Amino acid sequence: MMSLKDQISDDMKNAMRARETERLGTIRLLLAAIKQREVDERVTLDDAAVTAVIDKMMKQRKDSISQFQAAGRDDLVAKESAELTVLAAYMPEQLSAEAIAAEVAAAVAATGAAGPQDMGKVMGVLKPKLAGKADMTAVSAQVKAALTK
């Protein structure tokens, strides 16, 4: 099976051949970010680490979109949204709200968490399972709600 990084490299070549300049630009930014992290950490990133890089880039795009919308810069909103769409294609399928709630409940039960002070314990169990498959901010909010009942 092809690694996520190889898939992204192949897509870059296909975007070059098809002259999809905007898509190509985004893929190049992504590969540069992956390469940068590999050089900094002197490692070859696995799929989970590549997903983390994509997730970080998607967060940056979402932040930029909200700031550009507030400033009324629709041209920049469109550019960032297009990049977000390209990046989102590489993320694993997102879990449903029900699936996330079930994972949270299972993690709370597994750790024996009894209150807000145990939040770190629960998040420690959930983060590796849900990274890239769910918005961790929303997961965190669900854990907090589950522990304050």
Domains, the chain, ordered by start = 4-88 (1.10.1510.10), 97-147 (1.10.10.410)
Whether 105 contacts 129, CB under 8 Å: no
Instruction: At 101, give phi and psi (nearest 5°).
Output: -60, -40
Check residue 57 and give its pLDDT. 94
How far, in Å, CA of 141 to CA of 148, rounded? 11
User: Does this model's pTM top 0.85?
Assistant: no
Read off the pLDDT of residues 47-74 as tens digits, 9 standing for 90 and up: 888 988 998 999 999 999 999 999 999 9
- What average pLDDT score do residues 1-6 get? 87
CB atoms within 10 A of CB 80: 20
